[in-house]
């Protein structure tokens, strides 16, 4: 990756950009000085509809000057704003700084609206219609892309409307998940267990939630589960919220609950990430958002 982060590419982009603009100016200037003979019948040879011909005349002066203005504008823009590699521009503008300024202004204007709820406990806010309406807007802008607009989630993204929580459904746990994010990792066991071992474990895991599977495979898989999987999921498969290990004894599945889907998870592992939002949302907004998420599972 070092070849993509070296200073060479900054220089490469800058040279090509500047040379291209100057070349356009030189070409336009050369064409402007070129004299065209005033031959009344001189055309480019292009004809449409039998008698509509394109004459070989120079561009009008006003048109040429429009091109010169765009070239001057481009050079001025590259001096003032980023556009030449790592050059930040004399104005120091960037889309990141503009976003930060807009967020700061929005926080000054709307921050007090959220702060008045910051001291109210989450369970109480979950019953407050005004707080829930504000929390819903935060959810739709921040969380709905993954968890769906109703919080129902989808494959790989947890359903927030049930009582099944990977890291706990208390107000404190929900706020921690929103603020700090979560990183869930299921290591791949395919290389260690082999194809038969993976199938056996999958068959046993299916039975934990009352599903039907090959009894012989399930019996063999139980032994593997106790020595390999119980450390995270518990000996009875009820999971461990301290680790984010799912409960395997209910019928709620994040990546699919069929025997083949379970076998794929065991063999290849899973990696899921909930991004941290403390850099994007203020503590008051996180508190209000947590109250809305808390309310979704208690309807």
Q: How is residue 151 annotated by DSSP?
A: S
Please report the pLDDT score of residue 60 as a whole number: 80
Q: What CA–CA distances, in Å, run from 60 to 32, 34, 39?
A: 10, 13, 18
The CB-based long-range contact list for 240-249 (8 Å cut-off, 24+ gap) reads 241/165, 241/166, 241/167, 241/168, 241/173, 244/166, 244/167, 244/182, 244/184, 245/166, 246/166, 247/164, 248/205, 248/208, 248/209, 249/208, 249/209
Tell me what pLDDT residue 48 has: 82
Q: What is the pLDDT along the chain (299 residues), one digit of tens a residue?
A: 455 567 788 888 889 999 999 999 998 888 777 665 555 557 777 788 877 888 777 778 888 899 999 999 999 999 999 988 888 889 988 888 898 899 889 888 888 999 999 999 999 999 999 999 999 999 999 999 999 999 999 999 999 999 999 999 999 999 999 999 999 999 999 999 999 999 999 999 999 999 899 999 999 999 999 999 999 999 999 999 999 999 999 999 999 888 999 999 999 999 999 999 998 899 999 999 999 999 999 87
Q: Which residues partner with 53 through β-bridges?
A: 47
CB 287 within 8 A of CB 295: no
pLDDT of residue 247: 96
All structural domains of the chain, each given as residue ranges with its CATH number in brackets, are 2-80 (no CATH), 96-181+276-296 (1.10.760.10), 184-274 (1.10.760.10)
């Amino acid at each position: 990756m070092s070849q993509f982060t070296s200073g060479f590419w900054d220089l490469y982009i800058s040279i090509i950009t500047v040379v291209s603009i100057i070349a356009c100016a030189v070409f336009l200037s050369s064409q402007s000085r070129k004299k065209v003979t005033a031959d009344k019948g001189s055309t480019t040879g292009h004809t449409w509809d039998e008698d509509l011909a394109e004459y070989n005349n120079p561009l009008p002066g006003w048109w040429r000057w429009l091109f010169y203005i765009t070239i001057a504008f481009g050079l001025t823009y590259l001096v003032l704003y980023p556009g030449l590699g790592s050059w930040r521009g004399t104005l120091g503008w960037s889309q990141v700084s503009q976003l930060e300024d807009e967020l700061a202004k929005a926080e000054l204007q709307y921050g007090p609206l959220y702060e008045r709820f910051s001291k109210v406990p989450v369970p109480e806010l979950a019953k407050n219609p005004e707080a829930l309406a504000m929390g819903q807007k935060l959810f739709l802008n921040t969380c709905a892309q993954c968890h769906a607009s109703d919080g129902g989630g989808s494959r790989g993204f947890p359903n927030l409307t049930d009582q099944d929580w990977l890291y706990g459904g208390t107000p404190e746990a929900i706020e921690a998940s929103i603020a700090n994010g979560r990183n869930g990792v299921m290591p791949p066991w395919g290389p260690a267990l082999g194809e038969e071992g993976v199938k056996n474990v999958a068959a046993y895991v299916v039975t934990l939630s009352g599903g039907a599977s090959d009894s012989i495979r399930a019996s063999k898989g139980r032994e593997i589960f106790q020595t390999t999987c119980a450390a995270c999921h518990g000996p009875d498969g009820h999971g461990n919220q301290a680790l984010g290990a799912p409960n395997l004894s209910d019928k709620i599945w994040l990546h699919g609950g069929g025997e083949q889907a379970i076998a794929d998870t065991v063999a290849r592992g899973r990696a899921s990430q909930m991004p941290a939002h403390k850099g994007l949302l203020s503590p008051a907004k996180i508190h209000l958002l947590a109250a809305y998420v808390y309310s979704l599972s208690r309807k």
